[in-house]
Amino acid sequence: MLNDDNDLNYDNKDNKDNKNKNKNYLNNFFIKMIFTLQLFYIVYIIFIVLQMNRNTGGNAVGVSKNAGGGAGARAAPQPQPQEDDFFESDNVGSGSGAPEVIQSNIKTNDGVLTNENIRLYNRFEDMGLEGGLLRSIYSNGFERPSDIQKKAIVPIISGRNLISQAQSGTGKTGAFLIGSLQRIDREIKSPQVIVVTPTRELAKQIRGVAVNLTRYYPVDYTLLIGGEGSTNQPINSQLLIGTPGRIMDVITNGLASMTESKIIIMDEADKMLSIGFRKQIATILSFMNPTIQILLFSATMSDEVVEMASKFVRDPVRILVDKSKISLEGIKQFYVYFQREQMKMEALVDIYSSLPIGQSIIFTNYIEKTILIYERMKTAGYPVYYIHSDMTQQERNEIMEDFVSGKIRVLITTDILARGIDVQQVSLVVNFDVSREVDTYLHRVGRSGRWARKGIAINFVVYKDMKYLRDVERYYNISIPTLPANLQTLNEE
């Protein structure tokens, strides 16, 4: 029996060894199969990309002018590209396809860097604008072109791509709308100009300018933002204004044909080309005509953004501001140092009780802090309200309407209002929390002092914030002094 038991044990061991070998064999087989399938998939993707390049001649995937059924027809769905297809190669934008010739920067007397000599047009009448558009411009209160309008409008009309930087409140919205409206063929009822912007509030503001500029120059326009407008009806408007996600949905679902697309404008372009929006922008561009004219506008243009833009915008006119010349002229900037975060609230109330303020914006870095400041200032009797990204679109619309009308005098917000919002009565900006980014600081402070008006910006800092304030001073080559004890001197010239 003992021998029989030993034999049985050995048999069991042999069986276990065989099972383990079979299991290992199966594991290795499946691993090899998965690897082989992955290899075939990679080869397939490479084949598809090569076929796309062969069919498009190396240009961006676009909708053929013969595709679709004219105005109102649904556009044929197109493959959605990876973002690197656009942002790492020279394949988008108007021009003959010849490689861009990088020219040395030309520095003008006003601190502007360009890559070619640009003629300045000091009167709108000299720009070749149609009579109805010219009448709309004057009825909108534009008497003379601003600096950016003198330089940018005519190159836009002539069909040039543009990478343009203009300080906040200097008329860049008017520049790109006037130039692009002149290029619209009003006989064609199909989208021709697409304006893409990072926030709903900014899109609505641009729409407001478009309303005024088309008063005597009829052009159909549609606002495409979350929470507004139909999503299932064909769109034949010649001008589309909206946020990237909504515009992408409309185009990819075939509700707006891009067969007649002429111009795409990216306002706040540095934000539009950031990681958060890049894939959506690449998808939108893939539906445009390969010769689409691309206009990039922003108050801030880092070297990295300009370099990226130059890779997918052919032969652009560059109008950039030397960062050493970005001084936010007309805006007095100060800071107040606090030993503890808790001391900021008392100082905020003191400032608002001491200064005659028309309208102002208080910026924070956190939604919770925004609400807390609102509650404390409301209790103290100040006409304040707040706005942030977690609100519904209807709530945000109502608050912005009340702020623009002056019903709300003090608005507390996160960076949702840092870019592009133009309320000319804003005379004071308080950074309750210092921005962590130098570009965002410029956008925040630029909410005051619009169109050469005087403005004040006050930064509240604790020890951990001093680094960010010094970063701003170094980057813009400025010195921000401490807030004077006598606040009344702030209103003195």
Contacts of residue 417, defined as CB under 8 A and 6 or more positions apart, other chains included, come to 201, 361, 363, 387, 411, 447
Asked if 217 and 170 touch (Cβ cutoff 8 Å), the reply is no
**Statement: residue 341 has pLDDT above 50:** yes
Distance CA 470, CA 477 (A): 10
CA nearest 456: which of 330, 331, 358? 331
Give φ, ψ of 343 to 5 degrees.
Answer: -80, -15
Tell me which range, 92-96, 126-130, 345-349, is most confidently predicted by mean pLDDT. Answer: 126-130
Asked if 148 and 299 touch (Cβ cutoff 8 Å), the reply is no
pLDDT bin (cut points 50, 70, 90) of residue 68 is very low
Question: How are beta strands 112-114 and 317-321 bridged, if at all?
Answer: antiparallel
Pick 300 or 385 by higher pLDDT.
Answer: 385
Q: List the structure tokens of 350.
A: 């003191």
**Statement: residue 40 has pLDDT above 80:** no
Tell me which range, 10-19, 73-82, 246-255, is most confidently predicted by mean pLDDT. Answer: 246-255
Q: List the structure tokens of 26.
A: 């199966």
Q: Is the pTM higher than 0.75?
A: no
**Statement: residue 11 has pLDDT above 60:** no
Mean pLDDT of 68-94: 47
Question: How are beta strands 112-114 and 106-107 bridged, if at all?
Answer: antiparallel
C-alpha Rg value of the chain to the nearest Å: 29
Distance CA 182, CA 136 (A): 12
Q: Helix or strand or coil: residue 241?
A: strand
Contacts of residue 463, defined as CB under 8 A and 6 or more positions apart, other chains included, come to none
What pLDDT was estimated at residue 70?
39
Distance CA 467, CA 65 (A): 54
Domain ranges (residues) in the chain: 84-325, 331-491
What percent of the chain stands above pLDDT 90?
38
Distance CA 461, CA 98 (A): 51
CB atoms within 10 A of CB 455: 21
Pick 44 or 172 by higher pLDDT.
Answer: 172
CATH superfamily for 84-325 is: P-loop containing nucleotide triphosphate hydrolases (3.40.50.300)
331-491 and 84-325 share a CATH fold: yes
**Statement: residue 147 has pLDDT above 50:** yes
Mean pLDDT of 271-288: 88
Mean pLDDT of 251-259: 94
What pLDDT was estimated at residue 456?
87
One-letter identity of residue 295: L
pLDDT digits (tens, 9 = 90+) for 56-67: 333 333 333 333
CATH superfamily for 331-491 is: P-loop containing nucleotide triphosphate hydrolases (3.40.50.300)
CA nearest 350: which of 490, 465, 470, 492? 490
3-state SS of the chain: helix, strand, coil percent to 5?
A: 45, 15, 40
**Statement: residue 450 has pLDDT above 70:** no
